[in-house]
Structure 1
Amino acid sequence: MIPYGRQEITQADIDAVVDVLGSDFLTQGPAVPNFENAIAKRVGARFGVAVNSATSALHIACLALRLGAGDLLWTTPITFVASANCARYCGADVDFVDIDPATYNIDVEALALKLNDAQKKGELPKILVVVHLCGQPCDLDAIHALSGKYGFRVIEDASHAIGASYRNEPVGNCRYSDITVFSFHPVKIITTGEGGMAMTNDPELASRMELFRSHGITRDAGLMTHTPDGPWYYQQIDLGFNYRMTDIQAALGLTQLTRLDAYVARRKAIAVRYDSSLNALPVQTPLQVAEAASAWHLYVIRLRLDEITRSREAVVQTLRSAGIGVNVHYIPVHTQPYYRSLGFQAGDFPKAERYYSEAISLPLYATMSDAQQDAVVDALNKALS
């Protein structure tokens, strides 16, 4: 089976993890802040807050921005459910903005129209979570301008996009947002096994996210409500969670980070090769916008169903039977049973729903060989015939 994505673990990765296993700290040691500083330096942000998953990072980002009951968060329907669930964890409501059918990212024109209507109704969002789908950044400049006009905060869900750039600057520098979130799940660009990180340039937001990731507990006397009893003393000053990353994970992330540029370059080369190999098939290949450079987490094609005689399901089943581990990213969030129970229904976001009916993610990972890619293309050609 050729999977749609997979990690690479080298001897350097193994050695780094073994070093931590033989050290004094398996967690809450020096490796985590070293990893945070390395990622912050790589993307040009002031602060990084490492946690045990990107989902946790989204949650503490919302908490740091004081999202709560009675508030509203908007995001895109084409994303993993965590981009919306983070609002529900905080007791807030969720709504969606349809996608741009060319880039599959949030449609900025639709966003502007929806914001104008929401302002008239007094129903503006407190937070907008934008998703850099497949690794391609959204139109961040336009989104930032809208945030200034309408007063909402911006979280970049860059779970697919470490190593990507927008206008020749790294995604994650938070030039256009309050917080950016990365994922280090094994199928992402680099991995810590499981893990995530929230980037920000705001010291207050960084401090609040650090607090929420560790039970709401502080040992900082300046944050305590009364004088500490002694050097052992700590106080819980808010309701937090155990979202900490271990030093084992951080050590793996540090060695993986040294290969980030090479991984993104290889992924781009595979994508370019796909573009060339698929241009005669009845599929739509991914559009790349001029002002952004994708990290190429995913390579999504859209079937031209009016030009083939088979359904998307039949094509997927044929490919999987041939050992090609294709997948679909993503089922529109608003069609999930939980969100239907909140009042959403099929037809609410037609561009997202049409995208879903046609989309297939082809295998793409840094260690994928040309021969494996040729096997994918050959199998797809046969599945479409």
Structure 2
Amino acid sequence: MDPYELLGIDRDADDATIKKAYRKLARQYHPDVNPGPEAEEKFKEISHAYEVLSDPQKRAAYDRGGDPFGGAGGFGQGAGFSFTDIMDAFFGGAAGGTGAGRGPRPRVRRGQDALIRLDIDLAEAAFGVTRELKVDTAVLCTLCQGEGTASGTHPVPCETCHGAGEVAQVQRSFLGEVRTLRPCAACRGFGSIIPDPCRECSGDGRVRSRRTLTVKIPAGVDTGTRVQLAEQGEVGPGGGPAGDLYVEIHVAKHPTFVRHGNDLHCTVTLPMTAAALGTTLTLPTLEADLVAGETPDTEGLETSFDLEVKPGTQSGQDTVLKARGVPGLRGGRGDLVVTVAVETPTRLDDAQQDLLRQLAELRGEDTPTGNLKQGGHGFFGKLRDAFNGH
């Protein structure tokens, strides 16, 4: 039967049209989709037709008047179409395109990214720092310059797959001869073999080495921030381009300041007398850590500031100092929030107790009542409202 007529195409149809027609009919008549002897026979015929018309030599022979089926008349005899052709018909090339396979895989490939953790202080995270890191990664083999071969030698084509990187495995089934392609075991899919590998890298084109890198940490980073160093990761197989190196920041806890976003929080403890009378405190800034650590370019940094505590300051009261927090990665700077904790003395001698009693008498606080806060909505507030008829 005419293969053009079987596929429903013109005699001058191009390869794309032939392939499209075969896909459509293969989906329609495949035995798994359309069981039955008639559909199976039809599927065999269109598979024969596609085998002839997809092969330039067989198509040319048929156009000259040859027999496309070789007189055998049977699908299983000499069909030999690729299993990837069937998969291509159903999945649009997911199994290997037109049956030509993927070809040899390249020896030269990009390297993997690398990750290293860096511990820094809060001040370094806030204002930035430059550090030297020792990293252990794959680097280019200097003996073979990534070629993987000994001096004066080169890779040779694989005799098993003849440079294709794949070998065909043919099996017989009710569909006929089904051909599948697998990576060549002899050359591991490269299509070539290195007969005399480099003695330094054993043919990989790279070796492991420890090296020192300088990394600049920008101001405003926090725990979890990653700084990217382009092309400083693992060199790829065959001396391929290096991946990137990511430096993940971990900020150590500070003895005084706690960071919340770009704001800094600290707590200062005052005696109750200082909170009642008021005072002025001199407190260190975060910049003081840079000066103490002998960080370069610290000249002119403000290492302390005065905090005015107003008379009658209550425990838990906050004082917000604008723009004394952590600089932001995109500019600006957070605030410093100072919380006052008023300390009540736990041990008083007789004289101190007498003085406090005198103060309590003068203030009328010698018999305190523990007044409830007006307008409360807790249990006692609700109880009071009930008695008052609210």
- Structure 1 and Structure 2 fold alike (TM over 0.5): no
Q: Taking CA–CA contacts closer than 8 Å with sequence separation of 6 or more, which of the two structures ends up with the larger relative contact order?
A: 1
Name the TM-score, length of structure 1 as normaliser. 0.20
Structure 1 or 2: more helix by fraction: 1
Name the TM-score, length of structure 2 as normaliser. 0.20
Structure 1 or 2: more strand by fraction: 2
The structure with the largest alpha-carbon Rg is 2
